[in-house]
Amino acid sequence: MQMPTDNALYRLMDWMVKLAYLNLLWIFFTCLGAVFLGWVPATKAMYSILRRWTRKQETFNVAASFWKEYKKEWSSDILASFLFLILGMLLVIDLKFFLAGYSAMHTLGKLFTIQLITVAIVLGMNYVSSSYPDEWSLLQKLKDGLIRGATSPFKTLLVIMTSILSILLLFLIHPGLVVLFGGSLLALLNLVLYDVLNLKSETFCQGTSS
């Protein structure tokens, strides 16, 4: 008996299984890199797999492809992980400092720090979700992420807000769904939104390579 692959319910279940499997791979390889060092290469690998799925590429070994992408730019991704970790720690310390006071300076500091946190989130999101030429340096990749965030700020913020709401919705339905689908579903949603909003999930500006 032939499986009804054109059935909407079948396709939905197929995607659920694939997303759950991909999310487990993402969690495993993130932990393999001691979390803070592994989340960048693991997330980039996850986006790479999702791009191949959404473009309906030929059948491939998901685990082997994930591992290949995970170690593809290991040194660059580890350095990016360090940079994002240090930046995040500094911003948290900065925000806590300004939250301790109520003067005009503290209020301005809070607003400025929140803006920097938003920029950091946009930069990190663009970095992990993009596919860059092999010859690009980490600086060129980060520059590309900043350019994309600056040229489409409202669209980028819409992607961030939609992502946050999606995670909250999963948590409200059942906290276990966040563990099972949180990362992969969020990444898929981001890719779809990027396409709908005409934001490239590949390299944004080839001119940044110069």
Q: Looking at the domain assignment, is residue 106 inside a domain?
A: yes
Compute the distance between CA of residue 161 and CA of residue 167 in angstroms, rounded to an integer. 10
Domain count, the chain: 1
Tens digit of each residue's pLDDT (9 = 90 or more) over 168-193 = 888 888 888 888 888 998 899 888 88
pTM of the predicted structure, to 2 decimals: 0.82
d(Cα 125, Cα 152) in Å, to the nearest integer?
A: 14
Cα distances (Å, whole numbers) of residue 170 to 116, 175, 184, 198:
27, 7, 12, 26
Per the domain annotation, does 208 fall within a domain?
no
pLDDT of the residue at 184: 92
From residue 47, how far is each of 43, 99, 116, 179, 188 by CA, in Å? 6, 36, 25, 17, 8
Mean of per-residue pLDDT scores for the chain: 82
Which structural domain range is residue 146 located in? Answer: 10-203
Confirm whether 21 is domain-assigned: yes
Give a yes or no: residue 79 inside a domain: yes
d(CA 102, CA 108): 10
Question: Nearest 5°: phi and psi at 32?
Answer: -60, -30
Contact (CB, 8 A) for 19 and 39? no
